[in-house]
Amino acid sequence: MIDPSLAALSDNLFSVAVVLYSLAVVAFCAELAFGNWPARSRELVAVGAGAPTVVQPGALDGPPAESPGARRLGGVAMALTVLGGVAHAAVLVTRGMAADRLPWGNMYEFATAVVLVAVVAYTVLALRAPVLRHIGAFVLGPVVLAMVLIGLFLYASAGPLVAALRSWWLGVHVTTAILGFGIFFVSGIASVLYLLRSRYEQKAAAGLAPSSSLLARLPSAAALDRTAHRTAVFGFPIWTFAVIAGAIWAESAWGRFWGWDPKETWAFIAWVVYAAYLHARTTAGWRGRPSAWVNVVGLAVMVFNLLYVNMVSTGLHSYAGVN
Amino acid sequence: MRRVGGRLLRWWRQLTAMRTALILLFLLAVAAIPGSLLPQRSLSQSNVTRYFADHPTLAPVLDKLYLFGVFSSPWFAAIYLLLFISLIGCVLPRAAEHARNLLSSPPAAPRHLQQLPESTELTASLPPVAALDVVEEELRVKRFRVVRREGRAGPELSAEKGYLRETGNLLFHLSLLALLLGLAGGKLWGYEGSILVTEGGGFCNSFQQYDTYSAGPLVSQSDLTPLCVDLTDFRAEYEANGTAASFTADLDYGLAGAAMRATTIGVNHPLRVDGDRVYVTGHGFSPSFTVVLPDGRSFDDVSAPFLPTETATMASEGALKLPDLGAGATDQLALQGFFAPTGLLQGSVLVSTDPRPLNPQVAIFVYRGYLGLDSGLPQSVYSLDQTQIDRDQLTKVGTANLSVGESTTLDDGTVVTFSGLKEFAALQLSHDPGQGWVLAAAISLLVGLLGMLLVRRERVFARVGPAPDGGGTVLSIGSLTRGSADTAPRFTALTDQVRTALADRNRTSAPDAAAPSARGGAPEKEIPSS
């Protein structure tokens, strides 16, 4: 039934993916660290020796032009990310082949797939708008952390699906939930970075921010906010569809389409929070930082829904497979 | 009177403001949290009872606040009703305005085009009206609705497209309302009942027959479809590692008095008959016993469902009550015990090691005395009344671990034999007349959402005037886009196209152009009169 060699290959590929992502983080950090600021600070030091180095307010539209070295490091980091993503995808493919089913039947597989979606979403963003490559360390860092935690605490060996999950709807409901979650993951990180960067920009506008700050290397606050919003806009209909598909499945599996099972309740809470985020961005007094906070809360709700509801509370969605 | 009216109007404005709606959205999210953290009556009455036992002082307080039934509590209802009123107050005026917009032409150009998010000025050697014609043509090709007006500052043009965005927005919000109505209808006119049915047994759709049921306030017994269901066979299949692979129940069903039809249902595959659905929600074993009294009277293969306490091994507990031992008997008899489909004795303790009935065993206590069934107090069919045991009304007269076929003899010569087992299925019949509406509302909600998020509403305004130095025309263009981040590149693309078209037109329409040019052969486009 279960092909042990494929299952073992899947587990090994998981480690490979973690290693490649970690190397990507190192490369992204190197890109941030050995960027181009020597040129500018030298210039500034020459002008006002001894004075604290500050960013010119005009230099805030994005990271300053890169040195060839930094660009090379960024390219290496992106290549490592893509390689890691390939290994990561192979983890799921081999596991699916080992168990002869869709590879999201328990929490380990679900969370692994969510992280893969986040990596793919980031890669697509970074390839389409190269300025977003600079958030790589901040995306891949949490990715590595998540992968390590998943490997340590959520691991479940390859096995057959429980009866309740043997349905066509697994492919619809769980797949879209994974997509939505992974996209919200990237959106939430963009909002966190926006919150950091926008405060930095306020300080910089007042002439109080050091140009050596890591935040100077991030895309502009406006770009981060736009990225967060666009990814959330992309993820929201997918999440809505996932919830609706879940309700349709629940109707044939549990006898009712909605029953305030803990997972359903938190999926609803997440939906309401993301709806609030999309509204907040167009509401006077909520634009900018307050709405970004709402997006961050949305991600926190998604993570809570995954961890707490599966592992602590008892409900119908107890498919964690973690003892 | 006017002051009251003014205050009401102010309240209404406040309630329907987006800021209020946002707050209500957050409140709704926060209000749902206790419903997932505290046990809920709608999910598990027994968890609530346990919570009461564990927190004797806190639980009654929480109960007063409806925290064990959050989703049917008045304050939760208050939040979502306020939210929906706010939504109605926001959506209806918008719908009216949208309808007006659809019927009327795009709004007049603002006086200062350069204050729009995107704007630019082009110069053309064409006369002003002809230059505006070029812009109009470009916009019409892009499926804009275009209107020309004679403004105070010269001929101007307004164009708009992407009406589906607002349509989607309205559809989304109205679908939410429809969804709530469908939900409410289902709650009012819907019901569900659950019953344990042993193989060979059956039930008809009536509240008296169900072990537990819940029904909406507008449901009466006479509304129930007279559907009857018999369980002929139940099968549970497992993978080699013990994972449950499938549960299937073979049923005969039909309306009372009519011919029965056979079907098979299982997990994810309910029986659907005209708005009623029958599910198999669980299963278990009913061990059967044969009891032979000293005087030779015997009760053959009496059984009772034992409820699984551990789904992985199907270890189960239950009781079998024999209240009527026949004429002349004053004592009643009962068995209470533990059933293991695959039994294993660890010391003297029986445990189950497999959910399949590979080696069924029971560990039973036998009681004799008065069961207290006619005392008027309800008691569980799955256990004996502990107070009867405590009061010595029921005396333990035997204990035994039995495999199938084995028996134990009591002090008075009564022989109890574990004669076999049957499987039972937990069946549930549900009726929800609202769910079709809810599904339709959910689908239109999604369609509206896609329209709202994917369509951009674009407005483009243009104005022409003579250049200050008298040589040609100055064309100002501005645009206002909703629902897109990359407005600048799109606007640049538009103005580039206009610039090219102006240049082309200039070349083809200027009779004194130096040469007919390669494009000269193309037929000149007709310039529409404004």
DSSP string, A230-278: HHHHHHHHHHHHHHHHHHHHHHHHTSSS----HHHHHHHHHHHHHHHHH
For chains A and B, count residue pairs whose Cβ atoms are closer than 8 Å: 124
B194 to chain A, minimum CA–CA distance in Å?
Answer: 11
3-state secondary structure of B67: coil
Cβ neighbours of B483 (radius 10 Å): 18
B406/B381 Cα distance (integer angstroms): 25
Cβ neighbours of A3 (radius 10 Å): 16
Topology (CATH level 3) of domain B106-162+456-509:
Double Stranded RNA Binding Domain (3.30.160)
B472/B137 Cα distance (integer angstroms): 20
Q: CA A319: distance to chain centroid?
A: 23
B281 to chain A, minimum CA–CA distance in Å?
Answer: 7
pLDDT band at B512 (very low <50, low <70, confident <90, very high): very low
Q: What is the mean pLDDT of residues B32-54?
A: 88
B449·A237 Cβ contact <8 A: yes
Type of residue numbered B402: L
B36·A313 Cβ contact <8 A: yes
CB neighbour class for B521 (10 Å; exposed up to 12, middle 13-18, buried from 19):
exposed
B329/B137 Cα distance (integer angstroms): 103
Q: What is the mean pLDDT of residues B227-252?
A: 89
Least Cα distance to B73 among B112, B101, B34 occurs for B34
Beta-sheet strand order (sheet of B227-238): B202-204, B227-238, B244-255, B261-266
pLDDT digits (tens, 9 = 90+) for B371-388: 887 777 777 888 888 888
Q: Which of B25, B266, B281 sits opposite A275 (nearest CB)?
A: B25
- Please calculate the CA angle B304-B308-B311 and round it to the nearest 5 degrees: 150
Least Cα distance to A277 among A231, A246, A323, A220 occurs for A231
CA contacts within 13 A on the Cβ side of B76: 16
Strand (E) or helix (H) holding B409: strand B407-409
Percent of the residues in chain B that have a pLDDT greater than 70, as a whole number: 95
B149 to chain A, minimum CA–CA distance in Å?
Answer: 31
Cβ–Cβ < 8 Å for A237, B449: yes
B441 → chain A, closest CA residue:
A244
A95 to chain B, minimum CA–CA distance in Å?
Answer: 17
Would you give the end-to-end CA distance of chain A in angstroms? 22
pLDDT value, residue B153: 80
Q: Which residues, in sequence order, are CB contacts of B73 under 8 Å at separation 6+? A: B65, B66, B67
Q: Where are the domains of chain B?
A: 2-102, 106-162+456-509, 191-431
Q: Which of B32, B430, B450 sits opposite A237 (nearest CB)?
A: B450
pLDDT band at B176 (very low <50, low <70, confident <90, very high): very high
Q: Which residues, in sequence order, are CB contacts of B137 under 8 Å at separation 6+? A: B501, B525, B528
Per the DSSP assignment, residues forming a β-bridge with B150 are B155
Q: Which residues of A touch B241 (CB under 8 A)?
A: 159-160
pLDDT value, residue B509: 63
pLDDT tens sequence for chain A (323 residues): 688 889 999 999 999 999 999 999 999 988 888 765 544 444 443 343 444 444 444 444 445 566 777 888 888 999 999 999 999 999 999 999 998 889 988 889 999 999 999 999 999 999 988 888 889 899 999 999 999 999 998 898 888 888 888 889 999 999 999 999 999 999 999 999 999 999 998 888 888 777 667 788 888 899 999 999 999 999 999 999 999 999 999 999 988 999 888 899 999 999 999 999 998 988 888 888 999 999 999 999 999 998 888 777 777 777 655 54
Q: Which of B25, B435, B453 sits opposite A237 (nearest CB)?
A: B453
pLDDT value, residue B332: 87
Q: For residue B35, what are its two tokens?
A: 């419903």
Query: Could you give the C-alpha distances from A295 to A45, A91, A228, A256, B439, in angstroms and in order?
Result: 40, 30, 8, 31, 28
pLDDT digits (tens, 9 = 90+) for A30-67: 888 876 554 444 444 334 344 444 444 444 444 556 67
B498/A265 Cα distance (integer angstroms): 53
Q: Which residues of B touch A273 (CB under 8 A)?
A: 25-26, 29
- Please calculate the CA angle A29-A34-A37 and round it to the nearest 5 degrees: 125
Q: B359's torsion region: left (phi>0), alpha (psi -120 to 50) or beta?
A: beta
A241/A228 Cα distance (integer angstroms): 20
pLDDT value, residue A190: 95
B448/B164 Cα distance (integer angstroms): 9
B71 → chain A, closest CA residue:
A260
3-state secondary structure of A285: coil
Q: Which residues of A touch B25 (CB under 8 A)?
A: 272-273, 275-276, 279
Q: Which residues of B touch A262 (CB under 8 A)?
A: 36
pLDDT value, residue A224: 92
CB neighbour class for A219 (10 Å; exposed up to 12, middle 13-18, buried from 19):
buried
pLDDT value, residue A64: 54
3-state secondary structure of B392: coil
Identify the sign of the CA torsion A46, A47, A51, A56: negative
Q: Where are the domains of chain A?
A: 4-320
pTM equals 0.86
pLDDT value, residue B484: 66
Q: Which residues, in sequence order, are CB contacts of A320 under 8 Å at separation 6+? A: A106, A107, A154, A156, A310, A311
A270 → chain B, closest CA residue:
B29
B243 to chain A, minimum CA–CA distance in Å?
Answer: 6
B280/A253 Cα distance (integer angstroms): 9
Helix axes of A68-99 and A136-149: crossing angle, nearest 10 degrees: 30
Query: Could you give the C-alpha distances from B512 to B32, B132, B472, B506, B516, in angstroms and in order?
Result: 76, 22, 16, 11, 9
DSSP state of B241: T
Q: Which of B19, B270, B442 sits opposite A285 (nearest CB)?
A: B19
A253·B43 Cβ contact <8 A: no
pLDDT digits (tens, 9 = 90+) for B101-122: 888 888 888 888 888 888 888 8
Q: Which residues of B touch A249 (CB under 8 A)?
A: 268
DSSP string, B146-197: EEEEEETTEEEEEEEE-HHHHHHHHHHHHHHHHHHHHHHHHHHH-EEEEEEE
DSSP string, B327-346: TT---EEEEEEEEETBEEEE
Spell B21-60 as b/e; 16+ CB within 10 A means b.
bbbbbbbbbebbebbbebbbebbeeeebeebbeeeeeebe
Q: Which residues, in sequence order, are CB contacts of B342 under 8 Å at separation 6+? A: B313, B352, B353, B354, B355, B356, B357, B358, B359, B360
A237·B432 Cβ contact <8 A: no
pLDDT band at B517 (very low <50, low <70, confident <90, very high): very low
B448 → chain A, closest CA residue:
A237
Q: Which residues of A touch B245 (CB under 8 A)?
A: 160, 163, 166
A165 to chain B, minimum CA–CA distance in Å?
Answer: 8
A158 to chain B, minimum CA–CA distance in Å?
Answer: 11
B198/A284 Cα distance (integer angstroms): 63
3-state secondary structure of B218: coil
Q: For residue A95, what are its two tokens?
A: 């596991």
Q: For residue B210, what are its two tokens?
A: 């169900």
pLDDT value, residue A176: 96
Q: Which residues of B touch A166 (CB under 8 A)?
A: 245-246, 267-268
Q: Which residues, in sequence order, are CB contacts of A233 under 8 Å at separation 6+? A: A278, B453
Q: Which of A262, A265, A286 sits opposite B22 (nearest CB)?
A: A286
B269·A252 Cβ contact <8 A: yes
Tell whether A241 is within 8 A of chain B (Cβ).
yes
Mutation for A interface: B18, B27, B30, B36, most A CBs within 10 A? B36
Residue showing tokens 């009703």: B81
Ordered alpha helix ranges (H), B410-521: 435-454, 487-509
A306 to chain B, minimum CA–CA distance in Å?
Answer: 13
Q: Which of B26, B246, B485 sits opposite A276 (nearest CB)?
A: B26
Greater model confidence, B509 or B362:
B362
> Residues of A numbered 60-89 whose beta carbons fall under 8 angstroms of chain B's beta carbons: which are they?
none
Rg (CA), chain B: 39
pLDDT of residue B177 exceeding 60, the answer is yes
> Residues of A numbered 254-313 whose beta carbons fall under 8 angstroms of chain B's beta carbons: which are they?
254-262, 265-266, 268-269, 272-273, 275-276, 279-280, 282-286, 301, 309, 313
Per the DSSP assignment, residues forming a β-bridge with A101 are none
